[in-house]
Every structure is written in C-alpha cells, then in structure tokens.
C-alpha cells in the first residue's frame, strides 16, 4: 500500500491523530543538519539581496523519509562548470521535474543554460519522500530546495574567499561565477567546484535565501520545461520507450471482475501464434483487501508486442468471477440515493442541526451524483524488468518509485538494496501511477523467465478495465432556512465506496482523508452543521483520481449554493460570499470538526482554512470574467470556489447552448491562490488542463459496472473531452502571495470548481439543473 497511508489508516481506526501532533515537528530541519558544526560568516554578505531562511513546519517532514536538502545529494558540479541537479519527483505533466531544480539553480545562482537534470531512482532514504501525488511536490520541497541551493551558493562563495584569502564580505556569487567585488576578479563555478564540495554544508540557521526582488528564475515563468525539445522531436523517453538487449514482450489477460480467479485456460492456439514463446498463469490475492497486488491472470510472452497481443486474443480463459460479480451500477446508484436520505455516521457536528430543521421556515434539498471514472492517462501502464544475479532492475513511469521498490523487494523476497527502480517520464498519471500493480506483474514475469528482460505492456482496454477507480458517490445536501432566507442548518450526507477498502477490511465507511476533502472542511458560516457518512461497500478497487473526493464535494456544495440563490432570487456570487461569511480562520474544534481532521497532511496553524482567501479568489475570478455582464439568450455564467491541497481556486465558467442543445464552453476564468509560487507559466498550464479535465469529468467520463465487470473498454466509450468540445479559452489569475501563505498545491486544486461552475452556468443558460455527472454535452431541446 502507499506507505504514507499506513499511519492515516491506523489513526482513523485506532487512535485519532490530533491536529496538534503535526505541529510539534519544528526543529526537524535543524536537527537534520546538526552534523555540520560549520558556521559561515554570512552576516557580511550584502544584506539587500538575502534574508534568513524562515523555516516552518509542513507535512513533508512527516512523510516517510521526510525531506532532504543536502546540496551534496542534489547537486554535482564538474571542473568545467557543468551543473547537474537531481530531480527526485516524478514528471507526469505538472512541470515539477523542471520547477524544483529551477529553485535550486536560482538560489545557487547557477546559469540554467548550464544545468542538466538527473532523474533520481526510487531512493527515499537518500532524497526524501518521492510519492508524487497529493499536489505535494512544491508544497513540501520548496523550502528544502531553496535551502539546498542557498547552501551551495554559500559554499561556492566560501571556497572563493578562501582561494583569494579575502573577506567573505567581498565576494558574491552571480550567474555561475563568484566575483570579488573589491578586485573585480572572477572564479567560475567549475574552478570552485572541488573546494566548495569539500566544505561542510552550512547549518540551517546560517542559510540566507534570496529576497523576491533577486529571483532570477522563480516567479518569472520564462524557463521552458527541460524536456520540451525532446518531447517535440520524439526523443523523450517514457516507460514503453525503454529497450533492453534480448528484451521479451508480455501482455496479460486479467480477471474481468476484481477478485475473480482462473477456472481453466486453453492456450494451445496462443502457443501457435508465431512469436509467442511462453504462457504463464498467476494466481491473484485470495481475498480483499487487494492493495496494490497483482490481480492474477494469464501472461503471454513473445518476441514482439504484436505477437503477445495476438497470443492473448487466442487465449480461452474461463473465469470464476467471485463475490464482486454482484456489482451493478444501476442498482448500486439507486441504493446510494436511498442511503443518503437516512441518518449516517456523524463525522462533523456543530450546533444543533435537528433543532435548526425543526424550527426552519423553509428547507432545501439537493442530491448530487458522480459516476466512477478511470484516470486513463494517455500512456497506458508499462514496465520493463530484469533480474541479473539476484539484482532486480525495473524501469517504469511511476509516481511512487520507492513504495514500488519496497513491494517488489518483498514480493521477490530480495533485500531492498538489490532492487533498483528507474523512473522514466510519465505519459500522464492522475493517480493511476501512484499504484504499482503492473510493476509487480513485470518482475514476476521476468522471474518466470529466469530474469530475462521483459516489457509488460498494458493495452488501453486493460487500463480502462483494471484501474483503481475514482469513487462513485451520492452527496445529499439539506439546508434549513429562517424567515429571512438565512441558512440556519446544513446537513450533508456523503455516500461513496471508500479508498480504504483497497487497503483494509471494508467497513463501508470512508476515512479521514476522504472526509477532509471538501466535506467536513466545508467553510460556510452557518451556525448548525452536521456531516454524515452513509454506508457503501466497495465492489471494485477504489483509488486516487486527480483531486479525489474534492470532485463530488465541490460539485454538490457549490451547485447547492447556486440552487439556493435561485430559490431566494439572489445573485449566485453574492449568495456564495454571504455563505462564506466573515473573513476568518476557521477554528476546527469550535466548528465541530472530527478529532482526526485531515488537513492534507499539513499542520493546521501553518495551513489553516482562511475564508478571506476563498473570498479573494471568488472576487478575482468574477472581476476578471466580467461577472454580471449581460449575455445573449442561451448563454450563462456559473461560479464555484473550493479549497483543496492547501490552495484556493475559484472558477467562472461561461456556457453557450447551441440550437441543437450542445453545451459549449467558450471561456473559463480561474483564479488560484496557492501561496508562495515558483513557476507561473506551469501554474497556468495546470489550470488550463484542469478546466479540460474538469469538463471531461463533468460532461463525459463514466465507468459503469455490470456483473462486476467494467462496461467500457477504450476512449470510444470511456469518453474524455477532445478538441471537438472543450473549454476554448482559459484565463488564469494567480493571486499575489502573502508572506505568511506557504506554497500550496497546484496540480489538483484547479479541477474541482469546474463541474459546479459548469452546471451552474448551464442552469443560467437553459433553466435546466444537472445534478448527475457526467451530464453529457447535449441538453434536451
């Protein structure tokens, strides 16, 4: 399982982890560096350009293997001055492979043109946590990487001062060389490399980072992503592009229903396919939870991908579908709607909701549904594996290379030192590649081949039918209103099969991570609030999908606001601002949040829910979009705001309905407040992409089950937005960061506000209220 989850699962079922525990980690950074007793006479460096590194506690310190900031781990400089920076997070399209090294280069005053990147293999004890998900890379590594780059710069300056035998105050690092400000002499980084690297790493309290005015690359957005040329010329290496001498090609037939088993296999025809060399059967796990284990099935090994695929087509497998064959989407969805009407397990309780409803002059009820989805990244899963002299080597596009490495070592019963996981570029991930089931398949096949190199390729059908699916859900929201139309009570019942079921015996209930995603952290200033969870047992593997439970929660909460506005004859944006209420930091305890409230793994005092920031992005987006302007008939704007992954995003979606009922989106305006930020150009691209993925989820994408098996098989029936209909123009506003607002997430928070803003706009344009995702892209006319 995802190793960082172990703690949360335990805390959720055994001893609730309190918010306070997370905060008590101050000093971690300093502690990691006390080995170095070296103190640099930094006070003599020109004060205008630099300021003391302000450390703050963050969730990265509590992740497995925490954070590492040692320049000797991350930076290498040759005697010619070529700089290599190690990039240890996985690149799946966010630009992080470029953005974090850019931070290091900026702080160390390296010339980006002379920087090469090296992708780290899965090695968390060395590099710190590598789980590239949860929009955590910048949030957790901005500070360590600034520290790392600044420390390197100080070491280079120190080396130069030593060589010149001059005062440290008289030297200054500037664009790949150190200058003696008195004599005008210069020493290149190459000339200083050896001496600088021999110095001890400066202690954290002596580190001076740049002031914003001195940033060379941060905040500029001028550096292109490192792999841009390779990507546009076909040279970029993704998982399937790894080729080893003598490599075999494999595909697998897997049980159509998760938990199913092989009854019988006829492989005579397969073995006759030219190029097919071997057929192996693998048993799946005996019983749930399935975790990230292989599901079992039949592997076909051949001398080409084509032969392997043809061999698989010729297989005749009879399956015992097992207990999950009962899974039927229609029946299950109806049951979820019923469950949501009944009292559920109370997760948040503030005030007296029953009294509020008993005294209400009017009420509102809204039921919102979302279908399962597959992440369906453009690159299907693939891994290359070989075993030589007991040493296992795997190449894969994986979001969590160290978690994979641990499980591979365990599965093959070899010491972890004997396993190497190389990380290629990822052709998209969206959560699917933070699991590593397919990598385990690849190493097991290589094992059967006595360690021969083998590429295991998943087809698109495999990907659509054997995912860890985004959950399906019904979110029911009830509001109590007084005689002035004020909301006095809020009841939200969430019903959805939980990610927990993939890792632990399924209680039918969700856990603190899912509750923390737009459910218990609902920010409205309403006196009486109760959040309940109804039972829903899983019959499929449930997993992460970009922004996870935030998708259905933002859809429900933000649709309900616009519905209420309509009922009361109010402007939806004014209604939203009124419900958000006064500028304040929400007090989780006073607001009835659960003891184990999950704040994206961040210490609450450092990353609190700040209502002013929510309102700030609402106003930024609305102003930029021209909220309130008169639109032609058949057009409309909708607005939504959501906090996720410690960032705040509001979106205004402009919808235009064609004469034939086709829903078009000519424009989206999104405002993001992600605190301290580095690469505005990549933030914009993430927000553009988030609108498109938001539209896929809102209008197109659904996975449905019948007899326990997925009914869709490829992009023809699992639909995503294409250029035929997508948000044509996405305007992005990035809020100016306040010094106290630490870096938040960027990859995921842009997605959740799209669907509700889209549905709210459709209502304005057409009078039709859509409460079930996907809505389709055509209205009845």
Partner 1 sequence: MPTFTVNGESRQFDGDGDMPLLWYLRDELGLTGSKFGCGAGVCGACTAHLDGEAIRTCVTPVSAAEGKKVVTIEGLDANGDHPVQKAWRELSVPQCGFCQCGQIMQAAALLTRNQAPSDDEITAEMSGNICRCGCYERIHSAVRLAAGGV
Which helix (H) or strand (E) segment is 552 a member of? helix 550-568
Q: How far is the CB of 233 from partner 1 (least distance, A)?
A: 4
Q: Give the closest residue to 753 by CA, choosing from 707, 687, 682.
A: 687
**Contact in structure between 157 and 174 (CB atoms under 8 Å):** no
Candidate residues 48, 213, 233, 450; the one interacting with partner 1 per rule CB under 8 A: 233
Decide: 430 and 359 in contact? Cβ < 8 Å.
Answer: no
358 binding partner 1? (CB under 8 A): no
Least distance to partner 1, CB of residue 395, Å = 13
H helical segments located in 33-95:
71-74
Window 459 to 488, contacts with partner 1 (CB under 8 A): 459-461
Question: From residue 446, how far is each of 69, 81, 299, 302 by CA, in Å?
Answer: 36, 41, 11, 12
Residues 324, 508, 480, CA angle at the centre, nearest 5°?
130
One character per residue 119-158, x = contact with partner 1 (rule: CB under 8 A): ----------------------------------------
Interior/surface letters 495-530, b for 16+ CB within 10 angstroms, e for the rest: bbbbbbbbbbebebbbbbbbbbbbbbbbbbebebbb
Secondary structure class of 540 (helix, strand, coil): coil
| Residue among 427 and 752 whose Cβ is closer to partner 1 | 427
- Minimum distance of partner 1 from residue 275's CB (angstroms): 8
DSSP collapsed to 3 states, 224-260: CCCCHHHHHHCCCCEHHHCCCCCCEEEEEECCCCCCC
CB of 430 to partner 1, least distance (A): 7
Per-residue mark of binding to partner 1, 417-436 (x: CB under 8 A): --------xxxxxx------
Do residues 108 and 156 touch, judged by C-beta distance below 8 A? yes
* Crossing angle for the helix pair 96-108 and 137-164, to the nearest 10 degrees: 30
Quote the least distance from Cβ 663 to partner 1, whole Å. Answer: 16
Return the half-sphere exposure (C-beta side, CA atoms, 13 A cut-off) of residue 724: 8
**CB-based contact 615:583 (threshold 8 Å):** yes
**Inter-residue contact 109 to 216 (CB < 8 Å):** yes
Residue 456 lies near partner 1 (rule: CB under 8 A):
no
Q: Check residue 236 for interaction with partner 1 (CB under 8 A).
A: yes
Tokens of 543: 């997993």
The minimum distance between CB 725 and partner 1, in angstroms, equals 9
Q: CB nearer to partner 1: give 10 or 243.
A: 243
Q: Does 727 bind partner 1 (CB under 8 A)?
A: yes
> Binders of partner 1 among 168-227, rule CB under 8 A?
224-225, 227
Relative to beta strand 186-188, strand 177-180 is: antiparallel
Q: What's the min distance (Å) between Cβ of 387 and partner 1?
A: 22
Q: Which whole-number Å values give the CA distances from 342 to 160, 346, 472, 493, in the listed order?
A: 72, 12, 18, 9
**33, 63, 92, 663: which one contacts partner 1 (CB under 8 A)?**
92
- Measured from the CB atom, the residue of 110 and 374 that comes closer to partner 1 is 374
Torsion of CA 537, 539, 540, 546, to 10 degrees: -20
Looking up tokens 């105050």 gives 169
Interface residue with partner 1 among 13, 18, 163, 305 (CB under 8 A) is 305
> For partner 1, which is the closer residue by CB, 278 or 556?
278
Least distance in angstroms from the C-beta of 143 to partner 1: 25
Phi, psi of 404 (to 5 degrees): -60, -45
Quick check: helix, strand or coil at residue 385?
strand
Assess contact for 668 and 695: CB atoms under 8 A.
no
CA atoms within 13 A on the CB side of 151: 28
For residue 693, give both structure tokens: 């993925």
19-27, 285-293, 371-379, 580-588 -> range binding partner 1 (CB under 8 A): 371-379
697 touching partner 1, by CB under 8 A: no
Residue 692 as a binder of partner 1 (CB under 8 A): the answer is: yes
Among 112, 127, 217, 249, binds partner 1 (CB under 8 A): 249
CA–CA distances in Å: residue 418 to residues 90, 387, 422: 22, 10, 13
Residue in 95, 122, 431, 594 binding partner 1, rule: CB under 8 A:
95
Residue 692 CB, nearest approach to partner 1 (Å): 3
Site for partner 1 contains 231 (CB under 8 A): yes
Contacting residues for 570 by C-beta, under 8 A, at least 6 apart: 485, 564, 578
Q: Count the Cβ atoms, other than its own, within 10 Å of residue 393.
A: 20
Under the criterion CB under 8 A, does residue 110 sit at the interface with partner 1? no
Rule CB under 8 A: is residue 585 a binding residue for partner 1? Answer: no
Say whether residue 91 binds partner 1 (CB under 8 A).
yes
Q: Provide, rounded to whole angstroms, the least separation between the CB of residue 780 and partner 1.
A: 24
Confirm or reject binding of residue 229 to partner 1 (CB under 8 A). Answer: yes
**In the complex, what is the shortest distance from the CB of residue 295 to partner 1, in angstroms, rounded to a whole number?**
21
Cβ proximity to partner 1, 108 vs 690, nearer residue: 690
Q: Is 732 in the site for partner 1 (CB under 8 A)?
A: no
* φ/ψ of residue 162, rounded to 5: -65, -40
Residue (342 or 729) nearer to partner 1, CB: 729
Site map 707..726 versus partner 1, x via CB under 8 A: -------xxx---xxxxx-x
Q: How far is the CB of 380 from partner 1 (least distance, A)?
A: 7
Q: Phi and psi at residue 643, in whole multiples of 5°? A: -100, 130
The residues near 744 (Cβ < 8 Å, ≥ 6 apart) are: 135, 139, 607, 645, 646, 647, 648, 673, 674, 675
Q: Which of residues 464 and 761 has its CB atom nearest to partner 1 in the complex?
A: 464
Considering only 26, 681, 769, 776, the residue that binds partner 1 (CB under 8 A) is 681
* 45 close to 168: Cβ distance less than 8 angstroms: yes
Q: Does 304 bind partner 1 (CB under 8 A)?
A: yes
Nearest Cα to 248, choosing from 463, 466, 447, 462? 447
Under the criterion CB under 8 A, does residue 659 sit at the interface with partner 1? no
Of the candidates 49, 293, 309, 335, which one interacts with partner 1 according to CB under 8 A?
309
State which residue, 135 or 610, has the beta carbon closest to partner 1: 135
Total of chain residues touching partner 1, rule CB under 8 A:
65
34 or 304, CB closer to partner 1? 304
379 part of the interface to partner 1, by CB under 8 A: yes
Question: Based on CB atoms, which residue is closest to partner 1, 239 or 297?
Answer: 239
Instruction: Tell me which residues touch partner 1 (CB under 8 A).
Output: 91-95, 224-225, 227-229, 231-238, 240-241, 243, 249, 274, 304-306, 309, 376-380, 425-430, 457, 459-461, 681, 685-686, 688-693, 696, 714-716, 720-724, 726-730
């Amino acid at each position: 399982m995802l190793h960082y989850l172990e703690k949360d699962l335990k805390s959720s079922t055994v001893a609730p982890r309190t918010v306070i525990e997370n905060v008590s980690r101050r000093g971690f950074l300093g502690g990691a560096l006390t080995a170095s007793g070296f103190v640099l006479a930094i006070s003599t460096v020109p004060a205008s350009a630099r300021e003391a590194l302000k450390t703050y506690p963050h969730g990265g310190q509590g992740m497995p293997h925490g954070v590492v900031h040692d320049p000797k781990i991350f930076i290498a400089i040759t005697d010619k001055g070529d700089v290599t920076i190690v990039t240890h997070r996985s690149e799946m399209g966010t630009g992080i492979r470029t953005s974090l090294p850019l931070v290091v280069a900026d702080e160390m005053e390296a010339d980006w043109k002379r920087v090469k990147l090296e992708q780290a293999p899965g090695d968390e004890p060395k590099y710190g946590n590598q789980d590239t998900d949860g929009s955590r890379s910048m949030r957790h590594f901005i500070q360590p990487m600034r520290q790392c780059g600044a420390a390197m710069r100080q070491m280079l300056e120190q080396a130069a001062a030593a060589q010149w035998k001059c005062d440290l105050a008289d030297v200054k690092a500037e664009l790949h060389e150190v200058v003696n400000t008195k004599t005008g002499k210069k020493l290149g980084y190459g000339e200083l490399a050896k001496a600088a690297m021999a110095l001890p790493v400066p202690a954290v309290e002596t580190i001076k980072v740049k002031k914003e005015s001195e940033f060379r690359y941060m905040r500029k957005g001028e550096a292109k992503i490192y792999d841009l040329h390779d990507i546009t010329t076909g040279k970029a290496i993704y998982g399937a592009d790894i080729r080893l001498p003598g490599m075999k090609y494999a595909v697998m037939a897997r049980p159509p229903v998760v938990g199913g088993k092989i009854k019988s296999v006829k492989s005579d025809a397969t073995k006759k396919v030219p190029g097919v060399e071997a057929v192996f059967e693998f048993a799946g796990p005996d019983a749930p939870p399935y975790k990230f284990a292989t599901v079992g099935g039949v592997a076909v090994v051949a001398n080409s991908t084509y032969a392997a695929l043809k061999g698989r087509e010729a297989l005749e497998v009879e399956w015992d579908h097992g207990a999950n064959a009962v899974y039927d989407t229609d029946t299950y969805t109806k049951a979820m709607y019923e469950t949501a009407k009944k009292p559920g397990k109370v997760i948040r309780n503030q005030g007296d909701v029953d009294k509020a409803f008993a005294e209400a002059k009017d009420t509102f009820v809204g039921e919102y549904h979302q279908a399962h989805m597959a992440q369906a990244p453009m690159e299907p899963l693939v891994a290359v594996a070989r075993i030589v002299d007991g040493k296992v080597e795997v190449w894969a596009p994986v979001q969590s290379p160290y978690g994979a490495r641990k499980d591979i070592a365990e599965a093959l019963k070899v010491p972890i030192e004997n396993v190497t996981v190389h990380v290629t570029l990822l052709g998209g991930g969206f959560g699917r590649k933070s699991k590593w089931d397919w990598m385990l398949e690849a190493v097991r096949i290589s094992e059967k081949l006595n360690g021969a190199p083998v590429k295991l390729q998943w087809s698109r059908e495999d990907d659509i039918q054997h995912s860890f699916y985004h959950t399906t859900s019904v979110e029911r929201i009830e509001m109590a209103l007084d005689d002035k139309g004020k909301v006095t009570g809020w009841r939200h019942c969430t019903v959805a099969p939980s990610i927990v079921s993939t890792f632990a015996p399924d209680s039918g209930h969700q856990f603190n991570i899912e509750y923390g995603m737009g459910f218990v952290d609902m920010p409205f200033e309403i006196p009486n609030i109760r959040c309940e969870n109804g039972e829903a047992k899983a019959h499929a593997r449930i997993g992460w999908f970009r922004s996870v439970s935030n998708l259905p929660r933002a859809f429900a909460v933000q649709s309900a606001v616009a519905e209420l506005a309509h009922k009361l004859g109010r402007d939806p944006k004014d209604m939203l601002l009124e419900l958000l209420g006064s500028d304040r930091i929400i007090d989780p305890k006073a607001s009835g949040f659960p003891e184990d409230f999950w704040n994206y793994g961040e210490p609450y005092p450092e990353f609190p829910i700040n209502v002013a920031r929510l309102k700030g992005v609402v106003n930024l987006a609305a102003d930029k979009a021209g909220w309130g302007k008169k639109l032609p008939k058949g057009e409309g704007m909708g607005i939504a705001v959501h906090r996720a992954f410690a960032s705040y995003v509001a979106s205004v979606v402009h919808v235009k309905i064609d004469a034939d009922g086709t829903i078009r989106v000519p424009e989206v305006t999104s405002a993001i407040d992600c605190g301290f930020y580095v690469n505005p150009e990549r933030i914009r691209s993430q927000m553009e992409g988030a609108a498109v993925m938001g539209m896929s989820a809102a209008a197109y994408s659904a996975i449905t089950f019948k007899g326990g098996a997925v009914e869709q098989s490829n992009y023809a029936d699992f639909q995503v937005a294409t250029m035929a209909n997508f948000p044509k123009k996405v305007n992005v506003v990035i809020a100016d960061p306040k010094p106290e607002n630490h870096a938040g997430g960027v990859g995921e928070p842009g997605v959740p506000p799209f669907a509700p803003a889209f549905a709210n706009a459709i209502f304005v344009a057409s009078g039709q209220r859509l409460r079930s995702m996907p809505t389709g892209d055509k209205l009845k006319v």
